[in-house]
Amino acid sequence: MTISMYDACAPRFAGMLRNLDAILDKAQAHAVAKRIDPAVLMSARLFPDMLPFVKQVQIATDHAKGAVARLAGVDVPRFEDTEQSFEELRARLAKTIAFVESFSAAQLNGSEDRDIALKAGGKDLSFKGMPYLIGYAIPNFYFHLVTAYNILRHNGIEIGKGDYLGKP
């Protein structure tokens, strides 16, 4: 059995972003219940040289929308990275999920050999579709997603593996 490019990314990205949205809902409720300024959580980091929570969420969404757009051969939508609250991050998640879900299997399948070029960290990167998806986009998406989860967990939000993975 083979897995299609579409099945490997679009439903996975959308599902995990929905899980993150539910996690943000719990984090927001926790902040209200414990009278924690949400700005504290937005700027929280696991270590001083790591990016803050808000940036982790932004980058996770960037990888999801960037992957499906590049694989489909369309322009990647630009988000301004101005979110400073749970509400704004949840709106970004909703916008990203809608974008990811706007692609059909026909638009993504067959992109295994598509030339993918992007700039990251000031470097020009180039891939073929499949290596880009499985060796760059997916690992980066999950890295930033789990880092966002870990920042919240580290700050006392009562979330667990079931929240991260969602309901099967």
What's the rounded Cα separation, in Å, for the pair 129 and 72?
10
How high is the pLDDT of residue 1?
Answer: 67
What's the rounded Cα separation, in Å, for the pair 88 and 115?
34
pLDDT band at 60 (very low <50, low <70, confident <90, very high): very high
- Residue 22 per-residue DSSP state: H
CATH entry 1.20.120.450 includes domain 5-165: yes
pLDDT band at 42 (very low <50, low <70, confident <90, very high): very high
Q: What Cα–Cα distance (Å) separates residue 71 from each residue in 38, 60, 140?
A: 36, 17, 16
Cα 139 to the chain's mean position, in Å? 11
Q: What Cα–Cα distance (Å) separates residue 162 from each residue in 64, 78, 100, 137?
A: 21, 31, 23, 23
Say whether pLDDT at 143 is over 70: yes
Beta bridge partners, 112, equal none
pLDDT band at 168 (very low <50, low <70, confident <90, very high): confident
Mean pLDDT of the chain: 97
Angle at 148 between CA 80 and CA 123, to 5 degrees: 55
- Residue 137 per-residue DSSP state: I
What's the rounded Cα separation, in Å, for the pair 90 and 1?
36
Q: Could you give the 3-state DSSP secondary structure of residue 111?
A: coil
Q: What Cα–Cα distance (Å) separates residue 98 from each residue in 14, 86, 155?
A: 8, 18, 30
Task: State both tokens at 70.
Answer: 């590049």
Tell me the per-residue pLDDT of 73-88, one tens digit each, with 9 for 90 and over.
999 999 999 999 999 9
Beta bridge partners, 120, equal 123
Say whether pLDDT at 167 is over 90: no
